Each structure stands twice: as C-alpha cells, then as structure tokens.
Amino acid sequence: MKRDNYYLDNSLSIGWGRELVNGLAVNFNADMALRRSLAGYKTYGFMDSIFYPLDSLANRAPAFDPYNAFYGTVELRYTPFQPYIRERHEKIILESKWPTVYLKWRKGVPQIFNSEVNFDYLEIGLQQFLRLGTAEYRNTQSKRALLLTKRTETCRLQVPTQRRSFSVFKPQ
C-alpha cells in the first residue's frame, strides 16, 4: 500500500473484439488517460499509520507534473475445446474445463493527444474460472510480464509477476 504506486487517472477507453475460430479470440483497445499526482491530497492518518509511520518518506505520494498517456492493446486469447451452444442469432460460450492462454501486447504511443509515454509491454498468462459448489466461483490467474522498452521517465509501469486467486459470490 505504498503511496508512490498510486496516481489519479481520468481515462477513456474504446475497444473491439472478435472470435476468429472456436476458442481463439482477438481484442483491440485504445486508451487515453490524464494522470495526476496524489501529492497534496489529505488522507486519514490512522489508515496511513498502519503501514508506515506518519513522518516516513515512504508514506508520501511523489509529486509529478500531470501528463497524458495514450496506449493501444492487442490481446490474443485461446481456450482449447471451448464449449458453446448456438441460438438463433448468437453463439453462447459456456464454461470451459480448460484454462485460457493469452498473450497481450501494450504499446504506449507518444505525441498522440500530447501523450508522453513510450513503452512496449508484453504479457503472457493462464486464466482459469472454476465453479466450487453452486454459489462460488474461483478465478485463478498466473501471468508473466516483460517491459520490453521504456523510453521516457514519465512511464510509471509496474511489471506484474504474481499469482492471484480470489473468490466471488455469484448468484445463479
């Protein structure tokens, strides 16, 4: 919960996706964001003191000038043996027993809408949704990411290399 990992982000996204063949899908996204520092915002001292002493430098958000970020994302997802049913004008994808493998490339594009980011980010991962009983879902995801290029100091990307699992209640 270090504050230097957080910033204000006002963003707009647009995307398009298509299933190419059964189980293989491609998604395209474009995102525009105005990012600002949290420095100067008043927060509750009690919550801050749980993780760091109040006078600690690690407890302060770094000040930086606001900047624009424009980036595009291309994602390829594959689920082997994807089950589905066909209705009159649509294909309904059902739960799969197989994990989904995905490859995601994200590109920070400089100078479009005054964007100041310029990076190439590649992520590969596995994702599995499991039903446990009648009311619980478990989403397990394992991914590995690599920041291929980082050409500006403004680019503040965290490279995720984690394994997460959580449950959510989903009524029928």
Q: What is the pLDDT of residues 81-116, one digit of tens each?
A: 988 899 998 988 888 888 999 999 999 888 888 888
| pLDDT for position 24 | 95
| pLDDT for position 4 | 65
Model confidence at 168: pLDDT above 80: no
Long-range CB contacts (< 8 A, 24+ apart) of 36-42? 36/7, 36/8, 36/66, 37/7, 37/8, 37/61, 37/62, 37/63, 37/64, 37/66, 38/3, 38/6, 38/7, 38/8, 39/63, 39/64
pLDDT one-digit tens code per residue, 118-142: 888 899 999 887 777 777 777 778 8
Of 171 and 130, which is predicted with more confidence?
A: 130
pTM of the model: 0.69
Model confidence at 172: pLDDT above 50: no
Query: Can you tell me the mean pLDDT for 47-61?
Result: 60
> How far is it, in rounded angstroms, from Cα 28 to Cα 59?
37
> How far is it, in rounded angstroms, from Cα 130 to Cα 99?
10
